[in-house]
A = this chain, B = another copy of it.
Amino acid sequence: MKYAEGSCLITIGDTKVLCCASVEEKVPPFLVGSGQGWITAEYTMLPRATQTRHAREGITTKVNGRSQEIQRLIGRSMRTAVDLSSLGERTIILDCDVLQADGGTRTASITGCMVALVDALRTLKQPCGWQRLPILQFVAAISLGKVNDRLLLDLCYMEDSHAGVDMNLVMTENGSLVEIQGTAEGAPYTQEDLLTMLAMGKEGIQKLISIQKECLYYQEGE
């Protein structure tokens, strides 16, 4: 993307999300005067990202609760990756536009946004006079589910729509938890299932983080 300070087109299976990071020289009212920055996100799907066309949000339909929930999750996740106090009074807005959806769009958005975010931070390194980028840790996300009593990682839409548990994990490179959301669709699930999914998710996320760094030619401590 020619204009965005950072951008990333992430493809996982048939899911494609375009993530753009924009830097704005202002912060939300509650941070004015704090010297601190902010990171926020917007998430939407193109009308024909899905099998049947859906109406554009906010234009022919009401704004969508699901989208709001997702963009709040993306924003929170990205804020844990960065030292906001180093940003100065700037906001980084992450726009996630789902071009094509086949399951896991929220986790793909988080993983892609991390790349766009680092990309954007690099443009600020010189004007802000940073010694190194104010990245606390890389963050990525993955979805899991239980389909016909089997626990699966990174579900496609078909699997996801039959899943009895729907889990989204956001983790850092050292395996700490940023967010866990685990919802029973139908029957509740046991604590053992939860622990197995945590282990599977951790492994998947570590792979994703190494791919993020590769794409960025990221050098530790840069």
Contacts and interface: CB of A to CB of B under 8 A. Distances in A.
Contact of A72 (B3, B42, B51, B65): B65
A62 B60 CA distance: 9
Contacts of A177: 182, 184, 188-191, 194
B48 A95 contact: yes
A69 interface: yes
A115 to B, nearest CB: 15
How many copies are assembled?
6
B188 A178 contact: yes
Nearest to A61: B58
A109 interface: no
A70 B72 CA distance: 13
A180 to B, nearest CB: 5
A132 to B, nearest CB: 19
A4 B16 CA distance: 14
A1 B24 CA distance: 32
Interface of A: 1-4, 7, 14, 18, 20, 22, 24, 42, 44, 46-53, 56-59, 62-63, 65-66, 68-69, 71-72, 76, 80, 93, 95, 97, 99-100, 102, 137, 171-172, 175-191, 194, 198
The 4 closest A-B pairs by CB, nearest first: A176-B188, A65-B68, A58-B58, A58-B59
